[in-house]
Chain A
Amino acid sequence: GAGVSQSPSNKVTEKGKDVELRCDPISGHTALYWYRQSLGQGLEFLIYFQGNSAPDKSGLPSDRFSAERTGGSVSTLTIQRTQQEDSAVYLCASSSQGKNEKLFFGSGTQLSVL
């Protein structure tokens, strides 16, 4: 596609439910990042993929968070048993180069856990 696409753009869920967030990177981009941003804050690194493998999962906040990437393309971020503190904007970015330079961002998913 023309840019990084994320869906849904907004998600409201009840505490305890599982949610799945999707990221469709720019075609051909090998690197893919997930970040989380709380209101008025900076970006918190969650996980990074190079192809289908995730060499760095150090940012995942707890074992309720997981992510996968298939076919070197689409990635899904899954949050199990959501908590209110999970409410944030989840941003995905992709990059074309091996050195993961310029990142192209999607518009994010606003997650609200009630």
Chain B
Amino acid sequence: SQQGEEDPQALSIQEGENATMNCSYKTSINNLQWYRQNSGRGLVHLILIRSNEREKHSGRLRVTLDTSKKSSSLLITASRAADTASYFCATLSPGFKTIFGAGTRLFVKA
């Protein structure tokens, strides 16, 4: 079964607005990562947050991690049409297996 589950499943916003996606997971983790996928092919790594970190920034991306709630959020600020893609959270658990959630499909309207 999937370790991570994202919500919402789909999100449609206007260019310039912020997009927030959430991820929940079930077991203990070493780190949590967010990936982006365009056109149903290869995924691109966006950001990694370790289990002892609570917040991390990278450009227009902000990730939070709450290990007590087993949840994470990805915030994309000032969204652009080029941000349209599917976004997945992935968790690395002890045993070094990286498991992906079902993803959030983001559509940014120009």
Contact assessment for A50 and B96 in the assembled complex, using a CB-CB cutoff below 8 Å:
yes
A89 to B38, CA, bound (A): 13
| Chain A residues, CB < 8 A from B31 | 101
| Chain A residues, CB < 8 A from B44 | 105
Asked if A25 is at the interface (CB within 8 A of a chain B CB), the reply is no
**Given contacts A42-B88, A101-B92, A103-B45, A37 and B40 within 8 Å (CB-CB):** yes
Complex partner residue of B40 from A39, A48, A98, A106, CB under 8 angstroms: A39
Contact assessment for A99 and B42 in the assembled complex, using a CB-CB cutoff below 8 Å:
no
Nearest residue in A to B47 (C-beta to C-beta)? A102
Asked if A70 is at the interface (CB within 8 A of a chain B CB), the reply is no
B residues touching A (Cβ–Cβ < 8 Å)? Answer: 2, 30-31, 33, 35, 40-45, 48, 88, 90, 92, 95-103
